Every structure is written in structure tokens, then in C-alpha cells.
Amino acid sequence: MKTSYFFPLLIIVLIIIITDLYAYKGLKAILNQNINLISNNLFKYCFWSFSIIIIGIFITIFLSLPYINLAKSYIYIFNLASFFMIVFFPKLVFISFELIEDLLFYFLKLFNSDLNRFLFISKTGLILSIIPFVLFIYGTFFGRFDFKVRNIELSFNNLPSNFNNFKIVQFSDLHIGSLINNEAKLQEAVDLINSQNADIILFTGDLVNNFAEEISGFEQILKQLKSKYGIYSILGNHDYGDYYTWKSEQEKTNNFNSIIEKEKEINFKLLLNENREIYIDTQSISLIGVENWGKLPFPAYGNLDKALEGIKKENFKILLSHDPTHWDEKVLNKTNIELTLSGHTHGMQFGIYTDALKWSPVSLKYPRWGGLYKENNQMLFVSTGLGYIGYSGRIGIPPEVIVITLKCN
């Protein structure tokens, strides 16, 4: 087995064993108060049999990774991550309470040597551990394909009158390699997009996880996307193949070029630091697309100055830029771009995203992580994405299709 696979496997197995040992200690203490010896032994055999099966599954999949097709490997890795979260996080909640109880008990024991063991804190942890179990089950089996349409109207003083009620459909972060074996779900998403009757469809990056081959087999579904003025796209950080160790720079370049060709094949008009004029009769708006631009460790290939070349200052402008940090660093108060559309964050695929309340842990890194942001006369809309990566699920942050209707003030 390659060293690159051995160390992650070793760490995961050690985490599972240590967690299970501590969880077993706490559960056994609770059960000893309530069940007889035969039932206690049955629990022991079931608990450790299940633990051994989980470790066996992890070892089997990790040993198989070098022999799995790279494009298809993501579905195994992400499903494995989901399974890990379903079984690990409830235990983590329980042992956190168990640890608090242990620390409190041994501290009080210093002052009262006759103190008997109390278990109300760990029992509380056991009850609360049901919450992450239910959440991760829901997110894995239902949340990741619970497609939602998010409608928004945006008004501008300088929008050409012919573009009043112009309907933009934005989707982002497809990560199509994660959808292998779920072609019917992609078809459902495409049908949902087409049902919006878009004037224009805009895709804001991360078509793949790393490899051009991920797109193979999905072409005919993606070709069904339709809009009056076409489908335009940009690249996201995952579209450059930067997260894989290639045998050579040429192999990486070939993969990148294949992704570009695939975008053409599925009728996506890819904007690489360039712009297009969208006309309705004699009036037009400028559509600008930059390559990915992000703060470290994310790559900064985008060149906004180049993308703006040839555009009149007074033109109404829409910018496609995958990473929302680009807006703060290069767009806001530095240009007169009225509307920027981004993605990238996924809303961490976990949080709360309603009209009344919006929160996700990803806000600690990206203050502008989902929805609409306004400053002065400039606006940014960040899509939380249609696909998923890492964890094969979504909890509270549904996969979304954005419908933006432009209005004249």
C-alpha cells in the first residue's frame, strides 16, 4: 500500500479505536445500572463486532483506492466520509459529555473520597447524541438531492430598459464526479433549471472535482440545458486539477484542456478572463467572466483587468467570479461592476439558511458565504451550490438553483 494511503488509514483507525474504547466505558457504566449480566455480555459482543466491521470497511476501501478509476473514486471516498460522520459524530457528542463527567467526578473526589459515581451528565450526552445521528442520516439520504429554487429580484438604476424582467438562472459547484451513479438526480436538477424558462443560464465554477473524465457519461444530460441567450460558465478552483499529484505537468495540462473541451461539448460558453455583450435589440449588457481568484491556499488565476478590456464604463455589468473573496479584494469600491455572481463556499453543506435566519460555520472563513450582499451601488450574490464534496450530504443548506430577475428602478 502506498504511504500516502497508509497514514490517513492509520490515523482514522486509531481515532475509531480510541473513540470506541472511551464510548464503550461510558455506555457500560450506564448499562450496568439497568441490565443483567447476559444482556451486558450481548451488548459487549454487538458493540465490538460493529466496531470491527467499521474498521474492516475502512481498510477495505482504502486498500482498494489505488485500483479504482480516479474519476469514480470520489463517490467511494465521499460515501465513506458520510458513513464515518454518521457513526462517529454521535459517539463524539456522547464522549464529550462523558469526559466532562469524568473530570467533574475526579475533581469532586479530591474533596470527598466516598463520593459515588454519578451518570446524569453522560446520560444527557447519550440522549443528545441522537441529534447528530438523525441529522447526518437525513443529510446523506435526503438533503443532498433536496433541490430548491431561490428567487430574487434585483433593481438597478442603469439597467437598460430592454432588460427589465430579464431572468438569470445561476447554478454553481456541480462537482459532477460526486454524482456518478446518480445520473437520474442530475437529470432532475437539469429539468428544474429548464423549468425556470431562463433568459440566460450562468454557471459559476467547479464543474468537476479534479478530472475531466468525471464528465463522461453526463454530456447528454447537460446538453439539455436551454436558455434564450445561451449558457455561460467560468472555472472554479477544482477545475484546474490542483488537488491531485500528477505524474507530469503535461498530464495536468492535458486534463485541464480536456475540461475546456468538455465545456464546449456540453454547450457551455466558457469565459476565461474575457467578456461578452448580451444584446436585446440595440441595447446590451456586459457579461464578464474571470478565472478562479482566491486568497491562499486557493489559486489566483483570475485577471479582472484583462476581463474588462473593451467594455465601456457606462455599460451595465455582470461579473462571474467563483470565489466571493474576489469581490471584496478586487471589485467592491474598485470597479463600477453592478452585480457579481459567485459560489465556492457550499455554505459548508451545513447550517441554517432561511429568510429569517442564516448561519453556517463557513462564515468564520467567508463572511460573504451565501445569499445577497449589498454595499453602495454594488451587489454580490453567492450561491451555496448544487453539488457536494467531501461529505455526501447537505444539512440545512439545500442544493439550490438561483433565479435572479433584473428590474429597472
d(CA 401, CA 37): 56
pLDDT value at residue 1: 41
Tell me how far the alpha carbon of residue 171 is from its chain's centroid: 13
E strand or H helix at 167: strand 166-171
Matching CATH number, 146-408, of 3.60.21.10, 2.40.440.10, 3.90.1530.10, 3.40.50.2300: 3.60.21.10
pLDDT tens per residue across span 357-378 = 999 999 999 999 999 999 999 9
pLDDT value at residue 113: 80
Q: How high does pLDDT run on average in the chain? A: 93
Q: Which residues of 358-375 are buried (b: 16+ CB within 10 A; e: fewer)?
A: eebebbeebebbbbebee
d(CA 350, CA 396): 6
SS3 32: coil
Distance (Å) of CA 281 to CA 161, 197, 226, 274, 285: 11, 20, 20, 22, 11
d(CA 111, CA 205): 61
pLDDT value at residue 70: 82
Q: Is pLDDT at 170 greater than 60 in this prediction?
A: yes
d(CA 348, CA 56): 29
**203: which 3 cell numbers?**
454557471
* Helix residue ranges per DSSP H, 219-375: 219-222, 249-265, 304-307, 325-326
pTM across the whole model: 0.93
Residue given cell 441595447 in the structure block: 283
pLDDT value at residue 112: 84
Report whether 94 contacts 121 (CB < 8 A).
Answer: no
DSSP state, residue 407: E
SS3 93: helix
Report whether 341 contacts 173 (CB < 8 A).
Answer: no
Report whether 193 contacts 169 (CB < 8 A).
Answer: yes
d(CA 201, CA 171): 8
Listed by start position, the domains of the chain span 3-141, 146-408
Please give the full DSSP string across 275-319, using - where no structure is assigned.
EEEEEETTEEEEEEE---B-STTS-B---HHHHTTT--TTS-EEE
DSSP state, residue 217: T
Residue given cell 467511494 in the structure block: 76
**399: which 3 cell numbers?**
442544493
What backbone phi and psi angles, to 5 degrees, belong to 271?
A: -105, 115
Distance (Å) of CA 12 to CA 3, 84, 281: 14, 9, 61
pLDDT tens per residue across span 68-123 = 888 888 888 898 889 989 999 999 999 999 999 999 999 998 998 888 888 999 99
